[in-house]
Structure 1
Amino acid sequence: MVWDETRHALGVPEMDGTHREFVELVYALLVASDEEFPALFVRLHEHTRQHFEHEGKLMKACRFPAIGEHNSEHLRVLGELAHFSRGVAAGRLGMARNYVRALPEWFATHLATMDSALAGCLKKG
C-alpha cells in the first residue's frame, strides 16, 4: 500500500497528513521482518488511536451527522488492534500479519465513505 495523492487525498490537509502516515505504517508492516513487526504494530496501534481521537474532534467541530456510525467504526478497529496487539506481544505474529494484509482494502472503503463525507462536512464549515 503506497500513498497515492489522486486516490487518497481528501483535500483536508490535517486528514491527508494523518492518512499518509497510516498508509506508510501499513506498508512498513506489510514488508517488515518478524523482528521489526512487533514495534511497528505498536506504532500503528498508537498512531490509529491518535488519528481516530483527532477525527472525533473534527466530527464534533463540524457537527458531522454520521458521528455515531463513524465513531463506532473507529471503536471496532481499535478493539481489533488491541486484540492483535496482545498476540503480537506474546510473539504470535500470524493473525496480526493477516489483519495488516486486510487493512488496505478496509482503508480504501473507509476513506471513500466515512472519511470523504467528513471531509465534505469540514469543507462546508
Structure 2
Amino acid sequence: MTLIDKSTIPATGNDQIDSDHAEFISLLNQLDNADNLEFAGLFRQLHEHVAAHFERENQLMAQSLFPAESEHKGEHQRVLSEFKQFQSRVDKGLIAFGQAFIRERLPGWFAIHAATMDNVLASYIRQNRA
C-alpha cells in the first residue's frame, strides 16, 4: 500500500526541496507498511527527517529574504509540535496513535503544504536569484 504516490506531488523545481520531499514520501510509505516492531524506529527517523527538512527550508527562506517566511516557519513549528506529541505517544508504545497520525493527518497536510507553501518558496527563489 502507498499512502502518497510520488507522482501526485508536483516537483517544485528546487533540487533540495524536491529531494527532501522524495525522502519524506519514502519514509511515510515505509511507516504505513511497518509492523509494530519496526514502527517506533521509523517514526523517529521520519520525525528527525522532518526537523532537518524544515531547518533546510528555513535556511532557504532566510537566505532568499522570502517575504512569507514567518507564516511558512510558523507552519513548520506547528507540525513539529504535533510530531513531538505523537513521538511521545509512540515512545510509550502507543503505536496506534502514531499510525493514525501517519495515515490520517500527514498525507493530506503534506500534499497541501508542498503544492502551496513549498511551491511558492521555490518559485520565489527561482525568480529572485542574483
Q: TM above 0.5, one fold?
A: yes
Aligned length: 124
Q: Decide whether the 8 Å contact of 1:29 with 1:100 is kept in 2.
A: yes
User: Residue 76 in 1 paired to residue 94 in 2?
Assistant: no
The secondary structure found in structure 2 opposite 1:111 is helix
> Residues of 2 paired with 1:20 and 1:8: CA distance?
11
Given residue 66 of structure 1, which amino acid in structure 2 is its aligned partner? A
CA RMSD for the aligned pairs?
Answer: 1.0
Instruction: Tell me which of 32, 35, 53 is aligned to 1:33.
Output: 35
Q: Which runs of 4+ in 1 moved over 2 A?
A: none
User: Residue 116 in 1 paired to residue 119 in 2?
Assistant: yes
Given residue 120 of structure 2, which amino acid in structure 1 is its aligned partner? A
The CA deviation string for residues 25-49 of structure 1, in whole angstroms up to 9 with x for no partner, is: 0001111111110000000000000
- Report deviation, 1:82: 0.7
Unaligned runs of 5+ in 1: none
What's the counterpart of residue 45 of structure 2?
43
The secondary structure found in structure 2 opposite 1:9 is coil
TM-score, normalised to structure 2, is 0.92
Given residue 118 of structure 1, which amino acid in structure 2 is its aligned partner? L
What's the counterpart of residue 5 of structure 2?
2
- Report deviation, 1:94: 1.2
> Residues of 1 paired with 2:101 and 2:29: CA distance?
13
> Alignment identity in percent?
41
The CA deviation string for residues 53-97 of structure 1, in whole angstroms up to 9 with x for no partner, is: 000000011111110110000001101111111111110011111
